[in-house]
């Protein structure tokens, strides 16, 4: 779990995702399928099987959500049934995203039309899901899709098929930009002092802080921290004064020298690592970076940038990472470049690794959508910041506030040596080129 404050997120701030549909459409089974693959149940709320059931969960990689299971809205059990239907529909007021679960065996009918009409009138975002899709032939799927108001996601909750694709639909449809509530505020206590190390050379813009530095600074003071800002050359003065910061956050470009100055026992990270976590999912990226030293001659790698006019920093990262991969593989790596917003270019399955830009022009939802897309295709994904930190041999130290992620690097070749001496590269793992 990369978001350590998850369990503390108040229910009110979590997006609410509600499953609606007929009785026996498999809503509960679908919820369990998502749960089984993607959820850690935090606090199940007790309720009867016919009352709506709310579950506060960590839906990886989205973060904290509330999933709501409802009774079938076609309940015809008299007065009690009418009450159940009303309770189900009452959930709409709390719903940020509705999953309209269609039973493949029963098809699209009056109950689904009624729900759809309700969603539209209320302005509720929704995803159409056809469950039990395994009983349909391809022709029957096409026939059913034609009768639906928009393309559905076909899943089989029983077999666990299509669940990742549904997750991506959820990420793409859930309203909001999905920003996490804090960049760094969960890593310290109010009253703690944090150090921000900046690096401005002659070419740096005058009289300004770049936006990520402003955002981190505000996040620190907004959460009751004291933010000590210092140029890298003056960092020794901080420790000479006897100041013991709770955390040091440095400009990535000077991580190496800064790591020499900051005592080992003080957690040290970079703006890049913090934003990798804030903008996407740090665990995915750290898992992805483990594939970097395993890229072998003949492998294909996708370098993806969200802007068509990348920043200077992006240019530098692309050149550095591309050069590193070519040296490692004796120039036998095939690198594709993709620029632009929207989904990553399909098919992804042939790639050994996707290396993504810092996503400064994407919001978290857009970056998560790409992460889920890569996961669907079974391709690891890393970003520039995490990849460069690895290549510079500073990633392990940069993850010091996230010890559970540091552990993911235990089996990976020592990073610093990797970067310094490509000849020490170990044989790539068995996976061949596509």
CA distances to 73, 101, 165, 229, 385 from 108, in Å: 14, 10, 21, 60, 47
Residue placing its CB nearer to its own copies in the complex, 93 or 207: 207
Write the DSSP symbol of residue 344: P
Question: Considering the rule CB under 8 A, would residue 214 count as an interface residue with its own copies?
Answer: yes
SS3 (DSSP) at 367: helix
**Rounded to whole angstroms, how far apart are CA atoms 56 and 39?**
10
Question: Considering the rule CB under 8 A, would residue 171 count as an interface residue with its own copies?
Answer: no
Considering only 59, 98, 238, 357, the residue that binds its own copies (CB under 8 A) is: 238
Considering only 10, 78, 123, 191, the residue that binds its own copies (CB under 8 A) is: 191
Considering only 106, 215, 287, 361, the residue that binds its own copies (CB under 8 A) is: 215
Considering only 86, 122, 218, 327, the residue that binds its own copies (CB under 8 A) is: 218
Question: Considering the rule CB under 8 A, would residue 231 count as an interface residue with its own copies?
Answer: yes
Considering only 142, 143, 222, 336, the residue that binds its own copies (CB under 8 A) is: 222
Segment contacting its own copies by CB under 8 A, of 218-226, 267-275, 302-310, 341-349 = 218-226
Q: Is the dihedral of CA 248, 254, 256, 257 positive or negative?
A: negative
Q: Considering the complex, what minimum distance in angstroms separates the CB of residue 243 from its own copies? A: 8
Question: Considering the rule CB under 8 A, would residue 193 count as an interface residue with its own copies?
Answer: yes
CB 159 within 8 A of CB 185: no
Tell me how crowded residue 331 is: count the other CB atoms within 10 A of its CB: 9
Question: Considering the rule CB under 8 A, would residue 190 count as an interface residue with its own copies?
Answer: yes
Residue placing its CB nearer to its own copies in the complex, 86 or 244: 244
Residue placing its CB nearer to its own copies in the complex, 242 or 430: 242
Q: Which residues contact 304 (CB under 8 A, 6 or more apart)?
A: 337, 338, 339, 344, 354, 355, 356, 357, 370
Q: Is the dihedral of CA 225, 230, 236, 238 positive or negative?
A: negative
Write the DSSP symbol of residue 151: P
CB 274 within 8 A of CB 185: no
Cis peptide, bond prior to residue 347, ω within 30 of zero? yes
Question: Considering the rule CB under 8 A, would residue 206 count as an interface residue with its own copies?
Answer: yes
Residue placing its CB nearer to its own copies in the complex, 34 or 195: 195
Q: What angle do CA 291, 343, 337 make, to 5 degrees?
A: 55
SS3 (DSSP) at 381: strand
Question: Considering the rule CB under 8 A, would residue 361 count as an interface residue with its own copies?
Answer: no
Considering only 125, 148, 209, 266, the residue that binds its own copies (CB under 8 A) is: 209
Question: Considering the rule CB under 8 A, would residue 189 count as an interface residue with its own copies?
Answer: no
Please tell me the count of residues contacting its own copies according to CB under 8 A: 31
Residue placing its CB nearer to its own copies in the complex, 139 or 207: 207
Question: Considering the rule CB under 8 A, would residue 217 count as an interface residue with its own copies?
Answer: yes
| Binding stretches for its own copies (CB under 8 A) | 190-191, 193, 198, 200, 206-209, 214-215, 217-222, 224-231, 233-234, 237-238, 241, 243
């Amino acid at each position: 779990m990369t978001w350590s404050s998850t369990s503390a997120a108040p229910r009110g701030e979590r997006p609410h995702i509600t499953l609606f549909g007929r009785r026996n459409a498999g809503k509960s089974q679908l919820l369990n399928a998502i749960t089984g693959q993607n959820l850690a149940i935090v606090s199940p709320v007790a309720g009867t099987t016919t009352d709506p059931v709310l579950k506060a969960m960590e839906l990886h990689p989205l973060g904290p959500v509330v999933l709501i299971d409802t009774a079938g809205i076609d309940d015809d059990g008299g007065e009690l049934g009418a009450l159940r239907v009303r309770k189900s529909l009452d959930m709409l007021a709390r719903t940020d995203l509705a999953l309209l679960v269609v039973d493949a065996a029963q098809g699209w009918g009056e109950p689904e039309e009624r729900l759809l009409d309700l969603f539209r009138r209320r302005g509720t975002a929704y995803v159409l899901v056809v469950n039990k899709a395994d009983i349909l032939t391809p022709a029957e799927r096409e026939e059913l899709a034609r009768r639906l108001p928009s393309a559905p996601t076909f899943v089989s909750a029983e077999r666990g098929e299509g669940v990742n694709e549904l997750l991506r639909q959820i990420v793409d449809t859930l309203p909001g930009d999905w920003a996490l509530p804090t960049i760094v505020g969960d890593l310290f206590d109010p009253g703690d002092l944090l150090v921000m190390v900046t690096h401005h050379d002659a070419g740096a813009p005058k009289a300004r802080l770049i936006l990520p530095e402003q955002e981190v600074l505000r996040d620190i003071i907004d959460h009751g921290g004291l933010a000590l800002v210092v140029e890298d050359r003056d960092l020794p003065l901080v420790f000479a004064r006897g100041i013991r910061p709770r955390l040091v956050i440095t400009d990535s470009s000077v991580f190496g020298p800064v790591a020499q100055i900051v005592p080992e026992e003080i957690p040290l990270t970079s703006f890049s690592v913090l934003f990798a976590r804030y903008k996407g999912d740090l665990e995915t990226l750290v898992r992805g970076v483990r594939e970097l030293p395993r890229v072998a001659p003949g492998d294909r790698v996708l370098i993806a940038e969200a802007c068509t006019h990348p920043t200077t920093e992006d240019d530098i990262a692309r050149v550095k990472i591309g050069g590193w991969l070519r040296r490692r593989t004796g120039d036998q790596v095939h690198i594709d470049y993709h620029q632009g917003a929207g989904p990553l270019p399909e098919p992804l399955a042939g790639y050994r690794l996707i290396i993504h830009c810092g996503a400064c022009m994407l919001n978290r939802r857009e970056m998560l959508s790409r992460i889920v897309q890569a996961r669907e295709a079974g391709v690891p994904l890393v970003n520039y910041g995490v990849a460069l930190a690895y290549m510079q041999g500073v990633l392990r130290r940069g993850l010091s506030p996230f010890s559970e992620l540091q552990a993911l690097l235990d089996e990976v070749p020592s990073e610093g040596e990797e970067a310094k001496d490509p000849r020490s590269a170990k044989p790539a793992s068995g996976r061949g080129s596509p």
